[in-house]
Structure 1
Amino acid sequence: MKKKITLLLLFLSIVGVKAQNNDFWIYLAIGQGNMVGTAKVEAKEATVNDNFVVMQTENAASTQLGTWKKAVSPIVSQKGGYGFLEAFGKTMLENTKNKKIGVVAVADETFPMAAYDIEVSHDFVANKTDEKTKAALERYGNNIYGRLIDMARLAQKDGVIKGILLQQDGNDTYNNAWLQRVKKVYYRVLNDLSLDSTKVPLLIGEVGCSEVGGKYAEANKTIGKMHAVLQHSFVVSAKDCALAVDKVHFTEDGYKQLGRRFALKTLQGMGFELSDTHKSSQSTHTKVQSSVIEVNVQISDKGILTATATEPLVKVSVTDTNGASIKEITLPEPSKVFTMDLNELPQGQIIVAFHAIDGEQSFTISN
């Protein structure tokens, strides 16, 4: 009898567990005012697809923390406005079938990258005295990173985290230390949520560009170096995205253009074939066979490529998809093993060819 009761309880516990939906794609969103959105919310933006949802991450009396709700503007915060996430979700759904898109956002215009770095965030919270920042911190329980992780863990019970989106305004310290901090926060998030960097890239948007009078356009020089520091990252262009009169935040049209680009870059990295982007795929293991040689290639999550060939290699060449040379390496001594840092190569699709004495073999990767 005791055994039957135990089995019954086990059965009830199993059926009571909500299964994770692999068709529910979730994106974590962090950053400043341009992540929150500052454009005026128009009535036409109130109609959205039921398959685009956002998690309640702010303390609010009207909505329970950690629950999903329809992604109606303002998406990130009731203190915000229309932003690029609206267009991001719409474009994602337009280019995928039978998918649900969810966003878990923890962002505010007063949050620099240091606010997400748990090694210094305590000081950031403790030292803020202006009412605007204090109010924003209180909405997230005075624990920005902790709130992001707690909400992300709840989201993982329902779907699969597919990427991390970062969009700032330009008001931060854009230097090598900033790049390293972004990298550190990215890997800490992945570690705390048990995520794979080859499956969960970082997508970082440019701030307002100089072509449209961006106040902090110089920051894009640093942002453009992100891929060299973090292999699994993609920079989203903000070129020609219209800015508001403050020349910091985008207009409604600017947000729509930026959001569409975020979505297309996301889908590109997942291997989707789209009309205005190239097909690309991420891989940590590629095996290419030939009648002459066999090359086994592995790419670490740090972006280090290691190739092992059946015949000694004498040269390795890298080209773009149009055949233009990017890099050519002649090995000082023939070797069956070759390593290369992909972070030193341009972002996007590249073709790497391995040359042996009696033949060659090549493959395409998304860098």
Structure 2
Amino acid sequence: MGTNMKKLILSLAAAATLASAAPDPNFHIYIAFGQSNMAGAAGAAEPETKPYPRFKLLPSMDCPAKGRTMGVWTDATSQLANCDNPPSISVADYFGRTLVDSLPDVTVGIISVAVGGTALKLFDKDNWQAYLEDPDRQKENWIINWAKAYDSNLYKRIIDLAKIAQKDGVIKGIIVHQGESDWNNNHWAEDLKKIRDDMLTDLGLSSDTVPLLAGEMREDGCCRGFSTSQVQRITKVMDNAWPVSSSGLGSAGDSYHFNRDGYIEFGKRYAKVMLEHMNRAPVEPVPQQPFHGVAATIPGRIQAEDFDIPGVGSGNDSYKDNDSENHGDSGYRKDTGVDLYKKGDKVVVGYNQEGEWLEYTVKVAETGKYDVFASVASANNTSSFKLSMDGKDITESIAVPKNEGKDNYDDFNSVIAASGVNLTEGEHVLRFTVTGSWMDIDYITFAVSGDPITPPDSSVGIIRSYAMNAASKNYRVFDLMGKVLGSVRVDGSAFETSLKTAGYNKGIYLLQSADGIRRTVRLNR
């Protein structure tokens, strides 16, 4: 554990001892992150190096020369994001000062984390490590070393500090200036939404009451088109997100940065936009909707690609994907970030990674016990998933059998996810969650317990119909968790007799032969 991390843990522990003091509703806290324009690139003058009444900073690193301790409130003087001396000013300096001037009864606090030259991925909780380990990044020593000042995990540093801040005040907004290093990223707005949503979730906040502001790039600089194609597009990609104009702001003499007057004016513009939206009426939430307009029926088959249409407002998402890009080749539902692939004449959900999930509005026809099956494929022996209903697990983590052959994601296995699950009549939300990466899923089927589960073309059977070879054949035997239990030789179609003779007890088993014949067998003894 690094020294900085130990200090931060101590700060968190110290903050916990103050739990008896309720957060001050008039202490407004803002998270500021980005690259060099948020870090600061124009020399500070005397006004910015002096304390400003009711303007505070929660340092994101120790700065002994400035008398700062990470995680302990202090006066907000330049430089806010790091320990540079002589200091520079950034967008955040006059954003905070202008808010203080506009809100006479309010104290304003800033949490500032910034790394010059970085792409947005460095702030993504799921992608920062891969970004730093990329061979191209290893050549950019300044990014690697700058990130180390935050123990390399910038997202975690922001969240840890924000949790300390929540003991004292209320997080009222997020401000961002980043994009010069993402000028060719056509999914930047979606990537920013993911980061914003992750922050809100981890901090227990709502987008209804926490605006996000993103500033445009220099209008006469390298990335003018990015301001139009991505920054201004955030209003269409996420709710309560607003662009801040950079029109007419002064240049530092390069293609990327603003001069001191530019930062002062830009900070004031951020504050003006925040003041316009910080007290806005909450967004009227719209719940997620079934993809085909009606809930999927149980008993029945649920196609994985037909997850719900996302709603509006916090808590109404219908899926979580670790990145915003649809990597699939099917052309189906390209307006989402879920990876949908074409497999023959069907569409499947692929490229599934741990932590991702999909939700489906379902309607259970009758209260009772149900068996649950899933059609899945994997070329790995570590892939797995689980199912939940209305937030409660209805299965354990289910292993997906590894296919024979290298990179074989084409052979779909019928896995028994659960047997005898109690479901109540009415409408519910089913969630499919990936617990082990790299698997594909075609569909999920619910069948009434005790009903036949392998009839041809059944609306409730998940097992495909295969012609049973009359000759003797060896089968591998799996349990409900997908674990290999052994093998059995079956004469013709005498599956139950063969299993009993081999010593298998009462239960449900999945049998699979080397040539692809699969059969689910229930032993009732």
* TM-score calculated relative to the size of structure 1: 0.68
Residues 284, 231 of structure 1: alpha-carbon distance in 2 compared, 3 angstrom cutoff: closer
Aligned counterpart, 2:78: 73
Aligned counterpart, 2:402: none
CA distance in 2, matches of 1:254, 1:24: 28
Preserved CA contact (<8 Å) 2:172 2:278: no
- What stretches of structure 1 of length at least 5 have no aligned partner? 1-12, 272-280, 287-298, 305-367
Aligned counterpart, 1:49: 52
Aligned counterpart, 2:124: 117
Residues 16, 181 of structure 1: alpha-carbon distance in 2 compared, 3 angstrom cutoff: closer
Per-residue CA deviation, residues 201-226 of structure 1 (Å, 9 max, x unaligned), is 111110101xxx21211111121111
Q: What is the aligned counterpart of 2:90 among 66, 83, 86?
A: 83
Structure 1 SS opposite 2:108: strand
Preserved CA contact (<8 Å) 1:34 1:250: yes
| 1:301 equivalent in alignment to 2:322 | no
Aligned counterpart, 1:172: 182
Amino acid in structure 2 at the alignment position of 1:282: A
CA distance in 1, matches of 2:40, 2:57: 14
Aligned counterpart, 1:93: 100
CA distance in 1, matches of 2:19, 2:111: 25
Per-residue CA deviation, residues 211-267 of structure 1 (Å, 9 max, x unaligned), is xx2121111112111100112101111110111111210001100111000001000
Aligned counterpart, 1:234: 242
Aligned counterpart, 1:159: 169
C-alpha RMSD of the superposition: 2.3
Structure 1 SS opposite 2:242: strand
Per-residue CA deviation, residues 321-341 of structure 1 (Å, 9 max, x unaligned), is xxxxxxxxxxxxxxxxxxxxx
Aligned counterpart, 2:149: 139
Residues 225, 116 of structure 1: alpha-carbon distance in 2 compared, 3 angstrom cutoff: same
CA distance in 1, matches of 2:257, 2:182: 14
Aligned counterpart, 1:259: 267
Preserved CA contact (<8 Å) 1:25 1:162: yes
Residues 241, 122 of structure 1: alpha-carbon distance in 2 compared, 3 angstrom cutoff: same
Amino acid in structure 2 at the alignment position of 1:83: S
CA distance in 2, matches of 1:249, 1:15: 41
Structure 2 SS opposite 1:191: helix
Residues 302, 24 of structure 1: alpha-carbon distance in 2 compared, 3 angstrom cutoff: closer
- What stretches of structure 2 of length at least 5 have no aligned partner? 1-15, 286-310, 317-525
1:174: how far off? 4.4
More moved, 121-130 vs 231-240? 121-130
Amino acid in structure 2 at the alignment position of 1:202: L
Aligned counterpart, 2:160: 150
Q: How many residues align?
A: 268
| 1:22 equivalent in alignment to 2:32 | no
CA distance in 1, matches of 2:261, 2:125: 35
CA distance in 2, matches of 1:246, 1:202: 27
Aligned counterpart, 1:277: none
Structure 2 SS opposite 1:171: helix
More moved, 251-260 vs 57-66? 57-66
Which protein is richer in helix relative to its size? 1
CA distance in 2, matches of 1:21, 1:174: 42
CA distance in 1, matches of 2:188, 2:276: 26
Residues 102, 14 of structure 1: alpha-carbon distance in 2 compared, 3 angstrom cutoff: closer
Preserved CA contact (<8 Å) 1:39 1:82: yes
CA distance in 1, matches of 2:18, 2:126: 41
Structure 1 SS opposite 2:95: helix
CA distance in 2, matches of 1:87, 1:161: 18
Preserved CA contact (<8 Å) 2:118 2:181: no
CA distance in 2, matches of 1:18, 1:251: 42
Q: List, as ranges, runs of 4+ consecutive aligned residues in structure 1 with deviation greater than 6 Å.
A: 13-16
Bigger-Rg structure (1/2): 2
Structure 1 SS opposite 2:121: helix
CA distance in 2, matches of 1:253, 1:303: 41
Percent identity between the two aligned chains: 28
Amino acid in structure 2 at the alignment position of 1:100: T
| 1:283 equivalent in alignment to 2:290 | no
Per-residue CA deviation, residues 158-212 of structure 1 (Å, 9 max, x unaligned), is 1000001010252214444211110101100000000011000111110101xxx
Amino acid in structure 2 at the alignment position of 1:90: R
CA distance in 2, matches of 1:51, 1:21: 13
**1:308-327 counterparts in 2 under 5 A?**
none
1:87: how far off? 1.1
CA distance in 2, matches of 1:246, 1:183: 29
Preserved CA contact (<8 Å) 1:109 1:169: no
CA distance in 2, matches of 1:155, 1:74: 19
Preserved CA contact (<8 Å) 1:33 1:169: no
Preserved CA contact (<8 Å) 1:36 1:107: yes
Aligned counterpart, 1:335: none
